[in-house]
């Protein structure tokens, strides 16, 4: 079997309801992970692209979080409605979905910057859209 061309890591970490940092998998069902696997299989690319469950990616305030390697593109506030676009645009088409990208200025720095309440068009501005 050839090596995978890309890995998609989907945070499936759970926290108690109301936790101040938020939770990427509040239902505990891993819906985003399941959707990525189903959609990759439907497109016939599950042998070259792997969707992996991930523990905490430490971007909780802007989750659910998904990261695509080898490009190291980090996506925040990902919903089930975004899965097709990420696969079609980024995984197949090679164009990351700009509106979902977590700005470098917020990666690993979300608590200090108050990321959960910031808004942005994600096209180079600092901040991310509020998921509320």
* pLDDT means over runs of 10, the chain (132 residues): 90 85 80 96 95 90 93 95 97 97 83 44 37 32
Helix (DSSP H) and strand (DSSP E) numbers for the chain: 3, 4
Residue 111: the pLDDT is 55
Query: Residue 13's closest CA among 23, 3, 1?
Result: 23
Q: Distance between CA 71 and CA 120 in Å, rounded?
A: 22
Token pair recorded at residue 5: 């061309």
Q: State the Cα torsion 23-59-34-86 to the nearest 10°.
A: 130
- Cα dihedral 15, 19, 23, 28 sign: positive
Residue 1: the pLDDT is 63
User: Domains along the chain?
Assistant: 6-117 (3.40.30.10)
Residue 120: the pLDDT is 39
Residues 53 and 10: beta-carbon distance below 8 Å: yes
């Amino acid at each position: 079997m050839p090596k995978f061309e890309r890995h998609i890591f989907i945070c499936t970490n759970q926290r108690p309801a109301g936790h101040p940092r938020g939770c990427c998998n509040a239902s505990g069902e891993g819906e985003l992970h399941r959707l990525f696997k189903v959609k990759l299989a439907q497109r016939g690319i599950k042998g070259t692209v792997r969707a992996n469950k991930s523990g905490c990616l430490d971007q909780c305030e802007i989750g659910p979080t998904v990261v695509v390697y080898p490009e190291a593109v980090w996506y925040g506030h990902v919903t089930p409605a975004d899965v097709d676009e990420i696969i079609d645009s980024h995984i197949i088409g090679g164009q990351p979905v700009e509106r979902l990208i977590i700005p470098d200025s917020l990666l690993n720095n979300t608590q200090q910057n108050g990321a959960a309440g910031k808004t942005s068009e994600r096209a180079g501005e600092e901040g991310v859209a509020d998921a509320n």
